[in-house]
Chain A
Amino acid sequence: MSRTQDSQRPHRSLAWRVFHFLGSMEFAITMLITLAIASVIGTVLQQNQPYPDYVIKFGPYWFDVFEKLGLYDVYSALWFLAILTLLVVSTSVCVIRHTPSMFRDMFNLRTNVQLKSLRSMHHRAQWHTAASTEASVTALTEQLSRQGYRTRITEKEDVQLVSAMRGGMNRLGYILTHVAIIVICVGGLLDSNLPLKLAEWQGRIEVETRNLPLSQVPKESRLPVGPQAFRGSVSIPEGRASSVAYLPMRDGYLVQNLPFTIEVKDFRIEHYSSGQPKSFESDLVIYDTDLNAPLEQTIAVNHPLIYKGYAIYQASFGDGGSELSIDAWPLFAGQPEATELETKVFETRNMQWGEQTLQLEVTGFRPFNINPDPTDDDPRNVRNFGPSIQFKLRRDTGEAMEYENYMLPVERNGRDYILSGVRGSPADEFAYLHIPADEDGGVEGFIQFLHRLLDKNVISTIAAEMKQETLVSLQSQEDQVLSDSLQRTLETLVAMFVRGGFDEVREFIEQTLPEAERDSLAPAYLAMLREMLGRVYLQGLSADANNTVSEAELLFLQDAIDAIGSLPRYGSPVYLALTDFTHIESTGLQIARSPGKSTVYLGCAFLIIGVFLLFYLPQRRFWIWLSEENGQTRLDLAGMTNRNPREFDTVFELIRGKLEAVTRNSALD
């Protein structure tokens, strides 16, 4: 494959041309850039999300197109692997083509140079010495060795040539750098999920997309213990064990059997004083028939356990089915009494509320909530809001509202509230209902008041009382029509308020009152409503109602009215109050087997060594041609380097000075 042959035979075979094209610098650069651009796609589009999310984002048509293109898992798409493969092929061809000459270059001292070519080099010098050729050669080689150069002496008829070189390893740098790319990619291939994809195409395995209990996952979706690479995860509640890992595959998963069982004894989170998590730790026990005794080990982030080539990492955590005691308070019907419920996180159950069937799905529990303090302007000041539960209430229609209820009252402006967040979709922020806490810090006081407002007897008695006072003040006790209408209006106002809040009351006023009187009468209506609400509240307070009302009670009333005003938007006929809990956590483990890892690491070592050799170990050569001239020894020095020509100017001067000095000195001996 030498130059002369190239030019002699312009018409090469196709295979030869393909080989050369693949190994050409242009092709290599094209592949590097192509790979870079292709890699961008997967960072712009979030990868491996649940498929329904993509459908929502792109619509069904584009969803299909993008799926065919493999855009949801770009880095294992066929076309992406093809680009990688081409890069590896290109690098391989390059290495194959260049390695022989590189090796030659690494060791060869180039003893066959001609004087003419030395004299045409950019770095050259020439001087004479009285010392003999032999003495000069000895002095030169000695000096060059001292400078770290390998030397060789060649005798040609009546002249001698000293060839010297250092930094031959620079060429090894080239080989290492490029071989590294191949080695890393091969190692990466060993750890990829390509074999799984192949097995899937051949129909040997099937990705499971349903949410099934482990025992029901069919055989086609389970992978036996074997030497293959995988990377999966499993979530294990405290006190429970698992001997499988789940491998995410597109929109589903596969189950990978493990040759041992992992039990989680305990999971811990430690916090900094500021509330941020400081450490996640799991106490694991490994059961394996190969072990004399179960292996106990604590893992933490950055401190995995490696057992039998399986690496077990602390990856995440979650709720492991915490046990919850809940009081369910009816808001709009029945008695103001709580029904006790025992449930667990991730449990789903039906609840009957009058006509309505609701499905309760408990989605989460948090033993504490460190949130920004709402009473503080600085969002960085945080406060612990105590435990909370998250759940959904789903109607027969399938629609669901999502709730977040706090267990303990939260203080705000000196008053205590029980918070319940509600939202219609995960995309929204929670809107919070602030229920004023009663003396015991619970919701019962509020519920009692609410139910009194719903109680027809209570309302009509109080409406009658109020009507009477009004008629007396108007001095028209005898007006039966006015009396009936007043009674009805008062009752309706309260009913409307409980049903639809102030909004509905305002709407009622707008619809019933003539426009001319609206402005003057509307405030009177609202005042009447407030008076009714106040009387209902005060009457329900205690036996000695004629005692003065405390400030606190008035504030409670005001807050309760505000809360009832927002109830119509709360969307639930029931209030669920968390009364007790047993927190059970689960730890999220990532389990991986990567048989290609050591190959990849070897490649990485090659790459680092190679790159530093290439850049920082310049290959430098010197030649000294010694001949006799007029009874003296004439020395022709030439030097060259393969990089850093600028620095070589200095190096050449330095070496020249030293060599000239030693040859002149040896003449004096």
Chain B
Amino acid sequence: MTTTTSLLESEKTSPSAWAWRVLMLLSAIGLIGFYSEVLDVYEISIIMLTAVGMAWLGQDWPGYRWHSLVVALLSLFAVTLYGSELGRADSNFWLNYLLASQSAFMWMSALFVMATVTYFGGLFFRSTFTEKVASFLTWSATTMGMIGLMVRWRESYLHGADIGHIPVSNLYEVFILFAVVTALLYLFYERRYQTRSLGGFVLLVISAAVAFQLWYTFERQAHEIEPLVPALQSYWMKIHVPANFIGYGAFAMAAMIGVAYLLVASAQNRNANGGWSSHMPSLNLMDDLMYKSIALGFAFFTLATILGALWAAEAWGGYWSWDPKETWALIVWLNYAAWLHMRMTKGWHGGPMAWWAIVGLFVTLFAFLGVNMFLSGLHSYGTL
């Protein structure tokens, strides 16, 4: 543990970390230069922010560097294959079987489910090798998901120059975003805490999202690319939605760690040592990770909600309208604020906090899905 973290520290000054930072800088400059005619000042800021964020994430995280490079190369490859003809999605071998957004998402779904099973396999057979395979599968799934999003972005422009938009505009697209973001968050902590045994639990929630996503695709034809309604045509969408999903993803991860915590705690109660639970990280570590996760979620959810208020001020004429989606964001936020404070009061650790984190996921789920399904309001963009 100690050695790995100090390894992380020294990685920040390694040549590859510097190469990565320079690459990010050049990519940002390249993008801004290439698209200079269509970008406004907000979008340029967003590109720069993204570059800084990616540079920071990749400085001591080689996995993320590889992931980003593969996403970039394969997405560019797909874009070249497409040229200006959407129809190539069916006629070109690579697009049809791998890189067209629809195919990439199918790969992502399959890989996530495989990764989940493999993680659990590794846990039950106490096989570190199997767990490493599971990590690799998770990375692959995340990479395919990200490629799918990138390619879909391009595909939307092939549908029509005025139709093109970043794929975070409806329920279908944000579900994929959710899966990808949650997986990345998990992978981040997997490396930080050098434990793979939580993978199955966290990936369970991603698999559930994937299952819903598949149903949504086949049942409702939700994967069609639709043009943006006027209210969504704003650069705010590009930051508000991703910030929100870092929040959702982190809350989901916290809840799944909560589940793992409770299972391990009860297994240890019955059978002090031995069994699968001995292969799990300590209760203390899980408690800590759950807290970290909720703190991260809370910070980004705060940011997202404020960005949402700024956007609302521009689009609807008021920064706060008590619209159901807004109100549920507030409810989620208050709930986790209460959670954070409760954890600071003496004696509230572990079990009760884990239960509360799980309840929190349901509250979050309602804000994310339930509001769109059951309540009407200004935010009714992604109805079921």
Residues of A within 8 A of B (CB): 25-26, 28-29, 32-33, 35-36, 39-40, 42-44, 46-47, 75, 188, 231, 272-274, 276-280, 300-304, 311, 313, 315, 380, 590-592, 594, 597, 600-601, 604, 607-608, 611-612, 615-616, 646-647, 649-650, 653-654
Contact = CB atoms under 8 A, between A and B. Distances in A.
A188 B1 CA distance: 47
A272 B159 CA distance: 11
Nearest to A188: B320
Nearest to B221: A380
B375 A44 contact: yes
Contacts of A604: 306, 309-310
B331 interface: yes
21 contacts: A25-B344, A28-B341, A36-B335, A39-B331, A42-B322, A231-B317, A274-B227, A276-B226, A279-B230, A280-B230, A315-B317, A380-B224, A607-B302, A608-B302, A615-B299, A646-B288, A647-B5, A649-B5, A650-B5, A650-B9, A653-B6
The 10 closest A-B pairs by CB, nearest first: A590-B317, A650-B5, A313-B317, A301-B230, A36-B334, A43-B324, A32-B338, A272-B227, A604-B306, A302-B234
Contact of B230 (A32, A278, A600, A647): A278
A301 B334 contact: no
Contact of B160 (A25, A273, A616): A273
Contact of A272 (B162, B316, B345): B162
A621 B174 CA distance: 43
A267 B328 CA distance: 34
B352 interface: no
B313 to A, nearest CB: 7
Given A278-B227, A592-B317, A650 B371 contact: no
Given A43-B328, A607-B302, A302 B314 contact: yes
Contacts of B1: 646, 649-650
- Residue among B2, B299, B337, B344 facing the most chain A CB atoms (10 A cut-off): B337
Interface of B: 1-2, 5-6, 9, 160, 162-163, 221, 224, 226-227, 229-231, 233-234, 285, 288, 295-296, 298-299, 302-303, 306, 309-310, 313-320, 322, 324, 327-328, 330-331, 334-335, 337-338, 341-342, 344-345, 371, 375-377
Contacts of A231: 317-318
A22 to B, nearest CB: 15
A638 to B, nearest CB: 18
A29 B342 contact: yes
Given A278-B227, A279-B233, A654-B6, 18 more contacts: A32-B335, A36-B331, A39-B334, A43-B328, A188-B320, A274-B227, A277-B229, A278-B230, A300-B230, A303-B314, A304-B317, A311-B317, A315-B317, A594-B318, A607-B302, A646-B288, A649-B1, A654-B9
Contacts of A590: 316-318
Nearest to B330: A39
B230 A29 contact: no
Contact of B162 (A36, A278, A616): A278
A313 B288 CA distance: 47
B318 A592 contact: yes
A311 B328 CA distance: 26
Given A647-B5, A649-B2, A594 B234 contact: no
B335 to A, nearest CB: 6
A188 B321 CA distance: 11
Given A278-B162, A301-B231, A302-B234, A46 B376 contact: yes
A277 B230 CA distance: 7
A611 to B, nearest CB: 5
A35 B299 CA distance: 20
Given A304-B314, A315-B317, A33 B299 contact: no
B166 to A, nearest CB: 15
Nearest to A590: B317
A612 B315 contact: no
Contacts of B319: 594, 597, 600
A43 B318 contact: no
B1 to A, nearest CB: 7
A646 B193 CA distance: 10
B316 A313 contact: yes
- Residue among A29, A43, A274, A315 facing the most chain B CB atoms (10 A cut-off): A43
A604 B319 CA distance: 11
Contacts of A44: 375
A302 B315 contact: yes
B162 A43 contact: no
A43 B299 contact: no
A33 B316 contact: no
A118 B6 CA distance: 24
B297 to A, nearest CB: 11
A276 B234 contact: no
A647 B8 CA distance: 11
A25 to B, nearest CB: 5
Contact of A315 (B316, B338, B341): B316
B188 to A, nearest CB: 14
B230 A42 contact: no
- Residue among A279, A604, A608 facing the most chain B CB atoms (10 A cut-off): A604
Contacts of B334: 32-33, 35-36, 39
Nearest to A615: B295
Contacts of A315: 316-317
Contacts of B322: 42, 47, 75
A302 B311 CA distance: 8
Contacts of A300: 230
A589 B266 CA distance: 59
Contacts of B306: 604, 607-608
Given A47-B322, A650-B9, A42 B317 contact: no
A304 to B, nearest CB: 7
A26 B341 CA distance: 9
A190 to B, nearest CB: 12
Contacts of B342: 29
B338 A36 contact: yes
A276 B227 contact: yes
Contact of B327 (A39, A303, A612): A39
Contacts of A612: 299
Given A39-B327, A278-B230, A608 B316 contact: no
A611 B333 CA distance: 13
A443 B334 CA distance: 62
A68 B298 CA distance: 36
Contacts of B337: 32
Contacts of A33: 334-335, 338
Contacts of B315: 301-302, 313
B305 to A, nearest CB: 9
Contacts of B299: 611-612, 615-616
B338 A29 contact: yes
A53 to B, nearest CB: 14
B184 to A, nearest CB: 18
A47 B227 CA distance: 30
A28 B345 CA distance: 11
Contacts of B233: 279, 301-302
A86 B331 CA distance: 17
A650 B229 contact: no
A40 B331 contact: yes
A376 to B, nearest CB: 14
A235 B158 CA distance: 38
A319 B233 CA distance: 24
B162 A29 contact: no
A601 B330 CA distance: 16
A650 B318 contact: no
A650 B6 contact: yes
A94 to B, nearest CB: 10
- Residue among A277, A300, A650 facing the most chain B CB atoms (10 A cut-off): A650
A395 B234 CA distance: 49
A105 to B, nearest CB: 16
B14 to A, nearest CB: 16
Contacts of B224: 380
B298 A611 contact: yes
